[in-house]
Amino acid sequence: MSKPNIIQLSEFDITQKIIESLSNICTRAVLFSVKNESKDATQIADELKISLSTVYKTLSTLEDLALAEVDKYVISSEGKKIKQYRSRISKVEITLDNMQPSLNLYPNKVESKSDS
């Protein structure tokens, strides 16, 4: 039996999905933009100079993959509830061994305000 090629990999393989997502520079930029502090989508879009719709789509993907989460909600001056996002990881290592990817995710240890 021959080895499966890349196209035959299971589309439900979470490791593969994470690696594919992180191969996108925009995804990495959004994820690591919220590594040290939580931000809303507008702040991220302004900081990275990318469209707000791209940020929302990327954040949705990162949430689905459990790489980012809603850290808190803030109320805008107009009374709207705004999500503040935070990265759940601080570091990623991807290695290949015999064409099999290995993924190591390191948790983002968040300092609480009482720790400072």
- What tens digit of pLDDT does each residue of 40-81 get? 999 999 999 999 999 999 999 999 999 999 999 999 889 999
Structure tokens at 82: 């705004």
**Global confidence as pTM:** 0.78
Any idea which residue has 């990623």 for tokens?
92
Please tell me which residue, 89 or 4, carries the higher pLDDT value.
89
Give dist(CA 116, CA 112) in Å, integer: 7
Q: Does any domain span residue 60?
A: yes
Domain at 101, CATH number: 1.10.10.10
Question: The domain containing residue 20 runs over which residues?
Answer: 10-111
Per-residue confidence (pLDDT) for residue 109, from 0 to 100: 82
Per-residue confidence (pLDDT) for residue 110, from 0 to 100: 64
Q: Does any domain span residue 16?
A: yes
Is residue 116 pLDDT above 90, yes or no? no
Per the structure, the count of domains in the chain is 1
Q: Provide the 3-class DSSP secondary structure of residue 37.
A: coil
| 50-53 long-range contacts, CB within 8 A, separation 24+ | 50/26
Q: Does any domain span residue 4?
A: no
Phi, psi of 4 (to 5 degrees): -70, 145
Give dist(CA 115, CA 56) in Å, integer: 31
